[in-house]
Structure 1
Amino acid sequence: MRTPLLLAAVSLCAQAQTANPFFAEWKTPHGVPPFADIRDEHFLPAFKEGMARHRAEIEAIATSPDAPTFANTVEALERSGQLLERVSLVFGALSGAETNPKLQAVNRELAPLRAAHYDAINLDPRLWRRVKAVWENRTGLDKEQLRLLEDRRRGFLRAGADLDEAGKVRMRALNAELSRLGVQFGDRMLKATKDFKLVVTRPEDLAGLPQGVRDAAARGGTWVFTLDGPSIWPFLQYADNRDLRRQLLTGYLERCRAGETDTRELASRMASLRVQKAKLLGYPTWADYILEENMARTPAGAYGLLKPVWEASLAKAREERAELQAAMAKELPAAKLESWDWRYYQEKVRRAKYDLDEAALKPYFSLDSVRGGAFGLATRLYGITFTEVKDVPVYHPEVRVFEVKEKDGRHLGLLYTDYHPRPGKRGGAWCGSLRPGRDRHAVPAITTNVANLSRPAGDAPALLTPDEVRTLFHEFGHALHGLFYAGQYRGLGGAPRDFVELPSQIMENWAMEPEVLRTYARHWKTGEVIPAALGDRIKKSRTFGEGFATTEYMAAALLDMDWHTLADDAPRDADAFEKASMEKWGLLPEIPLRYRTAFFNHIWGGGNGYSAGYYAYIWSAVLDSDAFLAFKEKGNLYDPATAQAFRTKVLEKGQTADPAQLYRDFRGRDPRVEALLRKRGLKS
Structure 2
Amino acid sequence: MTNPLLQDWNTPFQIAPFDRISDDDFAPALEEALAQHAAEIEVIASSDTPASFANTIEALEAAGKALDKVLGVFFTVAGADSNPVREDLQRQFSPKLAAHFSEISSNKALFARVADIWQKRETLDLTSEQARVLMLTHRGFIRAGAALTGAEDARMKEIKGRLAVLGTTFTQNLLTDEREWYMPLQEGDLSGLPDFVVASAKSAGEEKQAGGPVVTLSRSLIVPFLQFSDRRDLREKAFKAWVARGANGGETDNRAIAAETLSLREERARLLGYESFAAYKLETEMAKTPDAVRDLLMAVWEPARARAEADAQILTGMMQEDGVNGPLAPWDWRYYSEKRRVAEHDLDEATLKPYFQLDRMIDAAFSCATRLFGLQFTPLDVPLYHPDCRAWEVTRQGRHVAVFIGDYFARGSKRSGAWCSAMRAQAKFPEAQAPIVMNVCNFAKSDPALLSYDDARTLFHEFGHALHQMLSDVTYESVSGTSVARDFVELPSQLYEHWLDVPQVLAEFATHAQTGEAMPKEMLDKVLAAATYDMGFQTVEYVASALVDLAFHDGPAPHDPMARQQEVLESLGMPAAITMRHATPHFAHVFAGDGYSSGYYSYMWSEVMDADAFAAFEEADGAFDPDRAAALEKHILSTGGSRDAAELYMAFRGRLPGVEALLKGRGLAAA
**Class of the TM-score when normalised by the shorter of the 2 chains:** over 0.9
Letter in 1 for 2:90: N
Aligned to 2:366: 375
1:674 is aligned to 2:660: yes
Q: 8 Å contact 2:17–2:383 — kept in the other structure?
A: yes
Letter in 2 for 1:60: V
CA distance in 1, matches of 2:53, 2:233: 65
Letter in 2 for 1:244: L
Aligned to 2:560: 573
CA distance in 1, matches of 2:135, 2:211: 62
CA distance in 1, matches of 2:633, 2:337: 38
Deviates further, 327-336 or 240-249? 327-336
Aligned to 1:472: 459
Aligned to 1:50: 33
Aligned positions of 1:179-328 closer than 5 A: 179-201=164-186, 203-218=187-202, 219=205, 222-257=212-247, 258-328=249-319
Aligned to 1:540: 529
Letter in 2 for 1:515: Q
Aligned to 1:638: 624
CA distance in 2, matches of 1:223, 1:527: 28
- Mark the runs of 5 or more structure 2 residues left unpaired by the alignment: none
Letter in 1 for 2:607: A
Aligned to 2:569: 582
Give CA-to-partner distance per residue, 1:28-53, whole Å, 9 cap, x none.
Answer: 00001000111111111111111111
1:617 is aligned to 2:608: no
Q: Secondary structure at the match of 1:33?
A: coil
CA distance in 2, matches of 1:217, 1:314: 34
Q: CA deviation at 1:333?
A: 5.5
CA distance in 1, matches of 2:411, 2:108: 46
Q: 8 Å contact 1:93–1:433 — kept in the other structure?
A: no
Deviates further, 123-132 or 440-449? 440-449
Aligned to 1:10: none
Give CA-to-partner distance per residue, 1:289-322, whole Å, 9 cap, x none.
Answer: 1111111111111111111011111111111111
Aligned positions of 1:404-423 closer than 5 A: 404-406=394-396, 408-423=397-412
Count of paired positions:
658
Q: Secondary structure at the match of 1:452?
A: strand
1:549 is aligned to 2:538: yes
Aligned to 1:6: none
Letter in 2 for 1:666: F
Q: CA deviation at 1:416?
A: 0.3
CA distance in 2, matches of 1:442, 1:64: 26
Letter in 2 for 1:632: E
Q: Secondary structure at the match of 1:439?
A: coil
Q: Secondary structure at the match of 2:409?
A: coil
- Mark the runs of 5 or more structure 1 residues left unpaired by the alignment: 1-17
Aligned to 2:476: 489
Letter in 2 for 1:611: S
Aligned to 1:512: 501
Q: Secondary structure at the match of 2:406?
A: strand
Q: Secondary structure at the match of 1:230?
A: helix
Deviates further, 323-332 or 55-64? 323-332
Q: 8 Å contact 1:365–1:464 — kept in the other structure?
A: yes
From 327, 330, 341, the equivalent of 1:336 is 327
CA distance in 1, matches of 2:161, 2:455: 37
CA distance in 2, matches of 1:260, 1:286: 28
CA distance in 2, matches of 1:427, 1:505: 20
CA distance in 1, matches of 2:89, 2:79: 14
Q: Secondary structure at the match of 1:163?
A: coil
Q: 8 Å contact 1:420–1:455 — kept in the other structure?
A: yes
Give CA-to-partner distance per residue, 1:99-145, whole Å, 9 cap, x none.
Answer: 11111111111111111111111001101110111111112111000
Q: 8 Å contact 2:34–2:100 — kept in the other structure?
A: yes
Q: Which runs of 4+ in 1 moved over 3 A?
A: 219-222
Q: Secondary structure at the match of 2:486?
A: coil
Q: 8 Å contact 1:438–1:490 — kept in the other structure?
A: yes
Give CA-to-partner distance per residue, 1:70-104, whole Å, 9 cap, x none.
Answer: 00001101110110111111111111101111111
1:94 is aligned to 2:77: yes
Q: 8 Å contact 1:429–1:471 — kept in the other structure?
A: yes
Q: Secondary structure at the match of 2:322?
A: coil
Aligned positions of 1:380-391 closer than 5 A: 380-390=371-381
Letter in 1 for 2:580: L
Q: 8 Å contact 1:44–1:106 — kept in the other structure?
A: yes
Aligned to 1:398: 388
Give CA-to-partner distance per residue, 1:513-533, whole Å, 9 cap, x none.
Answer: 222201211112221111111
Letter in 2 for 1:680: R
CA distance in 1, matches of 2:52, 2:508: 53
CA distance in 2, matches of 1:516, 1:572: 50
CA distance in 2, matches of 1:136, 1:421: 51
Aligned positions of 1:496-507 closer than 5 A: 496-507=485-496
Letter in 2 for 1:673: V
Query: CA RMSD of the aligned region, Å?
Result: 1.2
Letter in 1 for 2:55: N
Aligned to 1:105: 88
Letter in 1 for 2:113: R
Q: CA deviation at 1:223?
A: 2.2
Q: 8 Å contact 2:552–2:561 — kept in the other structure?
A: no
Letter in 2 for 1:326: G
Q: CA deviation at 1:221?
A: 5.9
Aligned positions of 1:54-65 closer than 5 A: 54-65=37-48
CA distance in 1, matches of 2:131, 2:561: 43
Letter in 2 for 1:482: Q
